[in-house]
Structure 1
Amino acid sequence: MGRAFTIREVPDDVARRLKTRVAEAGQSLQADLLSLVTREAAEPTLAEIAARAERYAVREVSTEGILAVIDEGRADR
């Protein structure tokens, strides 16, 4: 079972715009907000992206290594 969230002190104009948008789209406010929160939670944070890049980063690159990769690319032509 999922959790329930409450957002307090939503400005009246924001609440009105959201309700208008979802009504025009034929959705409920709950469904729209759940979709928004789900999309946001699925996106990695900058810290997660940086950690992933760090795991895949090559720490030391030699001139010989670079030239070898260039040669491999040329050989595949």
Structure 2
Amino acid sequence: MPNVLIRDLSPDVHAVLVARAEREGQSLQQYLSLELAKLAGRPTVTELLAEIDARPDGLDLTSQEIERAIRAGRERRQ
């Protein structure tokens, strides 16, 4: 199995991750492995836009229009 090494991680970030793993009853390695699997399973906005553009029956919107709508929605939530 491949390994990942993360250097120069902030001690504060490390502490948060360790605490979350403990709350889940997992080792840090188990917790991070599951979180990375979740992350890899979600497409990025760029990947979603490319998928929409590739569909023959895709939305009648450009990628730029979709991206603007996503940004506007995020701004409204802040």
TM-score normalised by the chain length of structure 1: 0.63
Unaligned residue ranges in structure 1 (runs of 5+): 60-77
1:11-59 Cα distance to aligned partner (Å, 9 max, x none): 1122122112211221110011011111111111212211221223267
Structure 2: segments with no counterpart, 5+ residues: 61-78
Secondary structure of the equivalent of 2:9? coil
Residue number in structure 1 paired with 2:31: 32
TM-score normalized by structure 2? 0.63
Number of residues paired by the alignment?
A: 58
Q: Which residue of 1 aligns with 2:43?
A: 44
The structure with the largest alpha-carbon Rg is: 1
CA shift in 2, pair 1:4/1:58, >3 Å: closer
Separation (CA, whole Å) in 1 of partners of 2:51 and 2:30? 32
Structure possessing the higher relative contact order (Cα contacts under 8 Å, 6 or more residues apart): 2
Percentage of identical aligned residues: 31
Give the aligned CA root-mean-square deviation in angstroms: 1.7
Counterpart of 2:11 in structure 1 is 12
